[in-house]
Structure 1
Amino acid sequence: MKIIIAGAGAVGTHLARLMSRDHEDCTLVDEDAERLEGLDSEYDIMTMEGSPTSIKTLKEAGAEDADIFVAVTPDESRNMTSCIMAHAIGAKKTVARIDNYEYLSPKMGSFFRNIGIDSLIYPEVLAAIDINNGLKMSWVRQRWDVHGGALVMLGIKLRATCEILNRPLRELCGPDDPYHIVAVKREGETIIPGGNDELRLNDLAYFMTTKEYIPYIRKIVGKEQYADVKNVIIMGGGKTSVRAALTAPKYLDIKIIETDEHRCEQLNELLSDTDTMVIHGDGRNISLLMEEGIKHTQAFVALTSNAETNILACLTAKRLGVRKTIAMVENLDYVDMAEELDIGTIINKKTIAASHIYQMMLDAKVSNLRSLMMVDADVAEFTAEEGSPVTKKPVKSLGLPFGVAIGGLVRNDVGMLVNGNSQIEAGDTVMIFCHEQKMNKMEKFFKAASIW
């Protein structure tokens, strides 16, 4: 597959890294030579200095026979223009990063396809979805719904109250048990566990279960004392905060604290149809937090543009008694530090956007692909095609690559867990967990093939 990425910012470079690990024919284009410096040697890609809205640059980059052209510069107009031009030259599929929510209206889809833009990506909207999923459960670090919630993956930090520590998983996760452990993060290492592995104190464990067993999971991990989230304080009034507030469950009482007075006025207009309260002030000010009821707040969300500020603010909120904290950490260098400090849920809208685009590049029927930064892994929903290899043998005989786990499947809208004797059928939606970048190796299992 030939791929051209316009824009060597955080989204573009992360996407290039994903392409590099799959050894795809990838060219990264940017006007700034400094942004491109060293990327061609660090990743297995080509780099080109030039404007993505230049026909000459697009032709030199190979847009005429590109399978997919992705424009993720900071400028929405340039992204859309370059996609239109690349399509006119011959690119088979185009994706543009945008920052105008109106463009995502389903009614606009055919319009954009007609002018040469196949897909639109709004990173702040994708981040808001993850934030609100995180707010649904105060005791969960990460929640991922498969097929509309028929299956659920829960990332949970295990404390001393957990009932299932220090016991072999073969005693806990048998064929008839209502959950599987698909991955464990322990002291910086990711483990795809087997029957002899055990869960230990302070592990970050990823549980796969069905919705009706979520209360049971909450009990065995010792999280019943965590109060459900009702009151939320968000620090920072940027686009992600707006999208999160507009799409949050109605039962949440949300306050946004913003330092810029003019932006506060804008927020009041943008959020006029909600019950969100906008407060002018500094979310790091303990006196202000106390005044706004931090002691009775179940979740604190730090969404400023500064990763250090967000991390420190979450630490302060935890010290003041908030159980659930979410931090926007755009600088990937700070992700490990945030994890070591036990911040809670970490959001990086650029990696979320890159994962969403990466999903479009896989040949198999893949949906809802996400990168889990905490465990350096990808999780995605694959649909088994008629006659595909995955439908021809039980799971234990498929010969799946090391580092791959099947968490469960959805058949006729009913979620079910998978064991070695399970037989996947055509049309099943299967949750695949891949550690160490093996998602592209799973495509062949789910695509129709005449020879197994």
Structure 2
Amino acid sequence: MKIVIVGAGVVGEALCSELSEINNDVILIEKEEDILNKVIEKNDITGLAGNGASYENLLEAGVDSADIFIAVTEADELNIISCIMAKKLGAKYTIARVRNPEYTTNMRFVREELGISMMINPEEEAAKTIMNTLKFPNAESVDTFFSNRANILELVIEKDSQLSGMQLKNMDSRSEDKVIICIVERGKEIIIPTGDFILAENDTIYVTGTNDAVTNFYDKMGYKKNKDIKSVMLIGGGTLSHYLLKKLIRRKKQVKVIEEERETAKKLSNSYLNAIVVKGDETDQELLLNEGIEKYDAVIAATDNDEENMVLSMFAKSVSSGKIITQMNRTLLLPLLEKYEFCTPIVPKKVISDIIIRVVRSKMNIKGSKMNTLHRFGDNRVEAIVFEINEKSKSIGIPLKDLEILPEVIIAGILRREELTYPGGNDTIEVNDKVMIITTRKGVEDFDDILR
């Protein structure tokens, strides 16, 4: 596929790296020549120095024959204008990163009237991720599938857990609703486990099932030692907090925001009457203690400064037993956060780069079963993919126990019409089923790629 990307920031560079590795023809447009050259040196792509909204530059980059055009600069207006121009010139599918809440409220109009295929907001998507995480306070991460019918939870098996020493094939007898432990991280090893696998303390496990089944499993296995999250302190009143406040108030959470800038604090106070907004220095520990940081069920550090967010999270962890979530704008400090495990990091730019990768890969396979959803786990070493099965698939009508499936692959769920099942050996796959697979294999673009 021919893909044109405008903007070589964190998102643009990540897209260039990944999309060029899977046999795409990637052309990058970036106004800063030094930045452009660095990205070209690291990746198998071509580049053009200049304005991504220039008619001449777009033509020179070959936008008229592009399968996908992606605009991810820091400027919303530039992204929107360049996508409109790319569509008019002949790009088949266009994606614009848009952060400003004033634009995102009119997304439907912009998409329909101006021809932008997809508009994606990093902070709004990050807010959705945070809200999923708050449902399960002990989970390291939470991903949703099948239009929010199912979850995958990342959990750590702690000391004295019922799961430690349990053989997976014995797990059904201890749970009313079926769940599947589909991935296990043990040290640096990633395992797609079989029924004979025995869990151990400190394993990181990924559990999937319907929302009710996962919730029951979570409770029964003793993970709900943190009480339900009813109160949240947001430190920083930026764009992420704007989207979070909407969602938290809708869920009837008690919310307090600490924001240093007077105008921003005033605007939030006027917009969200059910939230308490305090104007004050976000890094003032005495202020945070006076505002009761230790009493909140969750604390979210969401200033514009990564280092401040990290220090604030460390302080929150020292005084609170609640869930700590840390916004990161760059990936530089992520290894440190993951090493000490005192918070759950959220990187809005990584969230949207992952979403864009899903969209691009779903467009790559136009003949086989359509890829609907893609999630990645364990430093991208494991993929959970949902395929919509078409009539050409070799799997139709064959009991799963008779399907010759490649190693390191499991079928983790089937959605047939509106019914979601976690299949056994006698179940079959039918046309139009949505089937979720979990795999460590690379290059799975069609469902039949997992068959011998």
TM-score, with length taken from structure 2:
0.89
Structure of greater relative contact order (alpha carbons < 8 Å, 6+ residues apart): 1
Distance apart, 1:376 and its partner CA = 4.4
Residue in structure 1 matching 2:430, options 418, 425, 431: 425
CA contact (8 A) 2:301 2:313 kept: yes
Distance apart, 1:3 and its partner CA = 0.5
| Cross-structure match for 2:387 | 382
Distance apart, 1:65 and its partner CA = 0.5
Distance apart, 1:154 and its partner CA = 1.2
| Cross-structure match for 2:366 | none
| Cross-structure match for 2:445 | 442
- 2:209 is the counterpart of 1:209: yes
Counterparts of 1:397 and 1:331, CA distance in 2: 47
Distance apart, 1:108 and its partner CA = 5.2
CA contact (8 A) 2:8 2:39 kept: no
Distance apart, 1:387 and its partner CA = 3.3
- 2:306 is the counterpart of 1:303: no
Any idea what SS the aligned residue of 2:445 has? helix
Q: Kindly report which structure 2 residues correspond to 1:218-237, keeping only aligned pairs within 5 A, or say none.
A: 218-237=218-237
Alignment root-mean-square deviation, CA? 2.8
Q: Kindly report which structure 2 residues correspond to 1:344-355, keeping only aligned pairs within 5 A, or say none.
A: 344-355=343-354
Of stretches 52-61 and 169-178 in structure 1, the one that deviates more from structure 2 is 169-178
For residues 21-75 of structure 1, the C-alpha deviation after alignment (integer angstroms, 9 at most, x for no partner) is: 3121111110112222332342232222221112221122111100111111111
Distance apart, 1:215 and its partner CA = 4.0
- 2:266 is the counterpart of 1:261: no
| Cross-structure match for 2:332 | 333
Q: Rate the CA distance shift 1:399–1:312 in 2: closer, same or farther, 3 A.
A: farther
Q: Rate the CA distance shift 1:285–1:398 in 2: closer, same or farther, 3 A.
A: farther
| Cross-structure match for 2:242 | 242
CA contact (8 A) 1:385 1:446 kept: no
Supply the AA of the counterpart residue of 1:321. S
For residues 307-349 of structure 1, the C-alpha deviation after alignment (integer angstroms, 9 at most, x for no partner) is: 2322232222222132311111232232222111113422111
CA contact (8 A) 2:208 2:214 kept: no
Any idea what SS the aligned residue of 1:37 has? helix
Of stretches 363-372 and 23-32 in structure 1, the one that deviates more from structure 2 is 363-372
For residues 194-246 of structure 1, the C-alpha deviation after alignment (integer angstroms, 9 at most, x for no partner) is: 33433332332110122222343124432232211001111111101110111
| Cross-structure match for 1:292 | 291
CA contact (8 A) 2:5 2:12 kept: yes
For residues 50-104 of structure 1, the C-alpha deviation after alignment (integer angstroms, 9 at most, x for no partner) is: 2111222112211110011111111111111111221222211111111233544
Distance apart, 1:399 and its partner CA = 5.1
Q: Rate the CA distance shift 1:62–1:159 in 2: closer, same or farther, 3 A.
A: same
| Cross-structure match for 2:272 | 271
Unpaired runs of at least 5, structure 1: none
Counterparts of 2:221 and 2:338, CA distance in 1: 20
CA contact (8 A) 1:389 1:444 kept: no
Counterparts of 1:187 and 1:101, CA distance in 2: 41
Q: Rate the CA distance shift 1:308–1:357 in 2: closer, same or farther, 3 A.
A: same
Counterparts of 1:26 and 1:420, CA distance in 2: 42
Q: Rate the CA distance shift 1:108–1:128 in 2: closer, same or farther, 3 A.
A: closer
Any idea what SS the aligned residue of 1:315 has? helix
Equivalent residue pairs, number:
444
Q: Kindly report which structure 2 residues correspond to 1:79-158, keeping only aligned pairs within 5 A, or say none.
A: 79-105=79-105, 109=108, 111-158=110-157
Any idea what SS the aligned residue of 1:149 has? coil
Of stretches 173-182 and 138-147 in structure 1, the one that deviates more from structure 2 is 173-182
For residues 136-180 of structure 1, the C-alpha deviation after alignment (integer angstroms, 9 at most, x for no partner) is: 222222222222333221111221142011333333369997111
Q: Percent identity?
A: 29
| Cross-structure match for 1:15 | 15
Counterparts of 1:145 and 1:153, CA distance in 2: 6
Q: Rate the CA distance shift 1:71–1:400 in 2: closer, same or farther, 3 A.
A: farther
Counterparts of 1:47 and 1:216, CA distance in 2: 51
Q: Kindly report which structure 2 residues correspond to 1:391-402, keeping only aligned pairs within 5 A, or say none.
A: 391=396, 393-395=398-400, 398=403, 400=405
Any idea what SS the aligned residue of 1:159 has? coil
CA contact (8 A) 2:258 2:279 kept: yes
Supply the AA of the counterpart residue of 1:333. L
